Amino acid sequence: MTRTKEELIIENKELQSRLVETEEALAAIRSGEVDAIIVPGRKGEQVYTISSADTPYRTFIEEMDEGAVTLSGEGLVIYCNQRFSELVNEPIERVIGSYFKRFIVPNDRSKFEKLLTRKEQNNNVLTILLVNSLYLKLSFHLLPAYLQGDNCILVATDVTEIKREEKKLRELSLLLEQKLDVIKQLRMRLIEKKIDSDIEVEKLKNSNKKLVQRMDMHKQVEADLKLKLKQKKKTL
């Protein structure tokens, strides 16, 4: 059966479309974007998983307790694990493709951007406050340039409880300092009162001493007068 020109054109377009799809699928497999493929067979469709050298690493990243994020040089989230999406309380599909700084409170964004721009081998640790009131300790890790250009890996650890305990300790320390100041003031007042009391006691002692001296003088005068009176009586 001879096919028409129009039928041949339609068939050619279909073959080209299938070729493009096949090339895209092969490219995705080579780049690691595909974890499994479905192949039709005699017993129906079968699923074949694709394993590579980085499969254990990817599993570890997904299962780790810390949040893991791959950032571009501009701070765009290229990848994040499930734990990080839980920390920011947003689904992974909304986190990936957004800028990391949107999760940070405005006062801490400049610190984050400064550290992201600097990207030194050492001192790449920063604690920030998220808009959902969680504290995260961020640790930046540079990737070799031949792997991901200027991208970097960020590990985020939830330190909210530690920060809350530190706040309680600061408040307790401040309260103790205030109480110590009160105790110091009370002690100074007691010392001052004791000093005043000692002065008053000394004054009383001096006054009593003078009174005793005066009484002794009065007794001596009285004795002298009695003696004189006695002598006069004898002469009469």
pLDDT higher than threshold 70 for residue 37: no
**Helix, strand, coil shares of the chain as percentages rounded to 5?**
60, 20, 20
Residue at 202 is within a domain: yes
pLDDT category at 127 given cuts 50, 70, 90 is very high
Beta bridge partner(s), residue 22: none
pLDDT higher than threshold 50 for residue 53: no
Domain extent at residue 203 = 162-227
The answer, as to whether pTM is greater than 0.75, is no
Is residue 60 domain-shared with residue 154, that is, in the same domain?
A: yes
**Residue 112 amino acid letter:** F
Is residue 188 domain-shared with residue 95, that is, in the same domain?
A: no
Number of domains into which the chain is organized: 2
Secondary structure letter of residue 96 according to DSSP:
T
How far out from the chain centre does Cα 109 lie? 14
Three-state DSSP at 234 gives helix
Dig out the tokens for 128 from the structure. Answer: 């920030």
Beta carbons of 156 and 87 less than 8 angstroms apart: yes
Q: What is the CATH number of the domain that holds 147?
A: 3.30.450.20
pLDDT higher than threshold 90 for residue 103: yes
Residue at 105 is within a domain: yes
Give mean pLDDT, residues 94-116: 92
pLDDT higher than threshold 70 for residue 36: no
Is residue 86 domain-shared with residue 133, that is, in the same domain?
A: yes
Question: Which residue's structure tokens are 């699928």?
Answer: 25
Cα–Cα distance list, 115 to 105, 175, 207 (Å): 16, 35, 78
Beta carbons of 88 and 74 less than 8 angstroms apart: no
Is residue 133 domain-shared with residue 202, that is, in the same domain?
A: no
Q: Kind of pairing, strands 44-49 and 67-71?
A: unpaired
Residue at 25 is within a domain: no
Is residue 166 domain-shared with residue 215, that is, in the same domain?
A: yes
Q: Which residues have CB under 8 Å from 22's CB, separation 6+?
A: none
Last residue of a domain, one of 158, 175, 202: 158
